[in-house]
Amino acid sequence: MRVISERRATFIRSTSPSPQPSPGVPGEGKTRASRMTTLGIDIGSSSVKAGLLRGTDVVGKIVRRALPTDYTAGRAEVKPDDLLTAVAGAVADLGSRVKRADAVGLSVMSPSWVAMDARGRALTPIVTHQDRRSVAEAHEIERRVGRAWHLRVAGLRPFPGGVASTTLAWFVKHEPRRLERADLAGNLNTFLHRAMTAARVTDPSNASFTGLYETIRLGGWSDVLIDAAGANRAWLPDVLEGDVIAGNVSREGARRFNLPAGLPVMTGVIDGSAIMLLAGAGVGQLVNSSGSTDVLALCTDRPRPHPQLLTRALGVGRRWLHVATIAAAGSSLNWAKDQLFADLPKAKFWKLVEEMATKKGESPVTFDPYLAGERTSVDQRRAAFTGLTLSTTRQDMLEAVIEALARASADRVPLLQSRGTKIRHNVFVSGGVQSGLADVLHRDWPGRWTFHAEDEATLRGLGALTPRPR
């Protein structure tokens, strides 16, 4: 245990069992989940991970395959063949142990939009949440349906790249020939199911991030939102809860992914939902996924959208998440290391960050922390230093970055509190959790908090799901 921010918060790396699911969350009270073995496949922005789970415990090793993303001119794209190769490689690395699995669980980054033809072949790149090409299309969608109506129905604004409808609208406008043979479109669990099982499915969490779904009442696809994006309703998959067996591995899927034919595959959920499931998905639970991007999510059973939040379905049961993000958190400090402290060994740099984070700075320099833009803004903001003079040092600039991140992180707490759900002060933390980063991001939170860190939460959360028939 270590205490940060003048003993106002406690940070614990937990070695005890994870919290159990709360009432109303599928799998609660069932013993089957602890006996069955789940093959978990977790797809993030930089890698694919796979491992066997007994309940939420990892059995044996976790394997990883790199997943490159191309960042060019405001775009963020993954090649579909690279994704399929990485998944197949990760499963192959587990070897014969895969035969022990009773079912497959999927957790995926989202949005991760891709259009497919009738045979399931990708017609477009996989466009991730970091893509920012579709600002004009986002404004056009809001003009067509109204900003307040979109927020009230979809639970969020059509943020460029961060909501897939804007990406879809961009392809409809700029590359319509790619979509001439489109038969199916969706995020990564849709793409993987089409390849593994031939099913046409998604879950409510991924449906929320399409921007085409009636998220607040879990009401299905919205014809109004579909029309506003210029989409075709026939492209959209069936929406099933994340723990439903959406299909079984086909013979073709078995050959491609090194899986046993007939193995049941659950619909799957967004990676952030998997973390919340590991935390128990209780109303008022906070989950902080801390790394390059910092994501703070509040679980609720009464969603109240806000224009500065991403409100989406959990993916199982009648639960929603209010999500507040810092698009460049750890990556801002990594940028400062590379650009300002290249001569300093990595360990010494993070020690410096940890030391500087223990007290509020008084540097005359300020920093706008938008190196990766802002996920809850249609028109993207840019990072900037102000107050620079000839006497400014690199320590002053690092202090400014630290202060900006601490302030941005703390400002999210009252925003989430304003949604009317009573927040528990026991926070579940996952991700990189470098010592210095945790000190920065949690330093200025108002009140007293306890932070429990869990390793491999996006993968292990899949073990909280008990497969059930379609």
Domain ranges of the chain: 21-281
Q: What is the pTM of this model?
A: 0.91
Greater model confidence, 106 or 23: 106
Provide mean pLDDT across the span 339-358.
Answer: 94
At the fourth CATH level, the homologous superfamily of domain 21-281 is ATPase, nucleotide binding domain (3.30.420.40)
Provide mean pLDDT across the span 143-151.
Answer: 98
**How many other C-beta atoms can be found within 10 angstroms of the C-beta atom of residue 121?**
13
Question: What letter would DSSP give residue 349?
Answer: H
If 0-12 CB within 10 Å is exposed, 13-18 middle and 19+ buried, where does residue 218 land? middle
Residue count of the chain, please give it: 470
Per-residue pLDDT band for 377 (boundaries 50, 70, 90) equals confident
Query: What are the pLDDT digits (tens) for 447-468?
Result: 999 999 999 999 999 999 999 9
**Among 46, 238, 19, 206, CA closest to 110:** 206
Greater model confidence, 346 or 438: 346
Q: How much is the pLDDT for 157?
A: 97
C-alpha–C-alpha distance, residues 21 and 384, integer Å? 43
**Among 286, 193, 290, 301, CA closest to 248:** 193
CA dihedral 188, 273, 464, 248 (to 10 degrees): -20
C-alpha–C-alpha distance, residues 182 and 117, integer Å? 5
Tokens representing 421 are 């759900």
Q: How much is the pLDDT for 207?
A: 98
Tokens representing 28 are 């609660």
| Close Cβ partners of 203 (under 8 Å, ≥ 6 residues apart) | 189, 239, 240, 241, 242, 267, 268, 269, 313, 315, 316
Per-residue pLDDT band for 46 (boundaries 50, 70, 90) equals confident
If 0-12 CB within 10 Å is exposed, 13-18 middle and 19+ buried, where does residue 384 land? exposed
Mean pLDDT of the chain: 91
Per-residue pLDDT band for 303 (boundaries 50, 70, 90) equals very high
Per-residue pLDDT band for 419 (boundaries 50, 70, 90) equals very high
Query: What are the pLDDT digits (tens) for 12-43?
Result: 443 333 434 433 454 443 434 457 999 999 99
Q: How much is the pLDDT for 15?
A: 32
Q: How much is the pLDDT for 34?
A: 56
Q: How much is the pLDDT for 467?
A: 97
C-alpha–C-alpha distance, residues 259 and 247, integer Å? 13
3-class SS of residue 18: coil
The letter for the amino acid at 211 is G
b/e code 140-175 from CB counts within 10 Å (16+ = b): bbbebbeeeebbebbbbbbbbbbbbbbbbbbbbeee
Q: How much is the pLDDT for 21?
A: 41
**DSSP for 247-278?**
EE--HHHHHHHT--TT-EEE--EEHHHHHHHH
pLDDT of 219 higher than 90: yes
Q: How much is the pLDDT for 434?
A: 55
The letter for the amino acid at 437 is L
C-alpha–C-alpha distance, residues 29 and 20, integer Å? 9
pLDDT of 346 higher than 70: yes
What are the distances in angstroms from CA 404 to CA 130, 254, 285, 369, 381? Answer: 21, 49, 25, 6, 14
The letter for the amino acid at 85 is T
Provide mean pLDDT across the span 72-78.
Answer: 90
Tokens representing 378 are 């249609």
C-alpha–C-alpha distance, residues 418 and 420, integer Å? 5
Between CA 173 and CA 181, with CA 176 as vertex, the angle to 5 degrees is 145
Query: What are the pLDDT digits (tens) for 153-192?
Result: 999 999 999 999 999 999 999 999 999 999 999 999 999 9
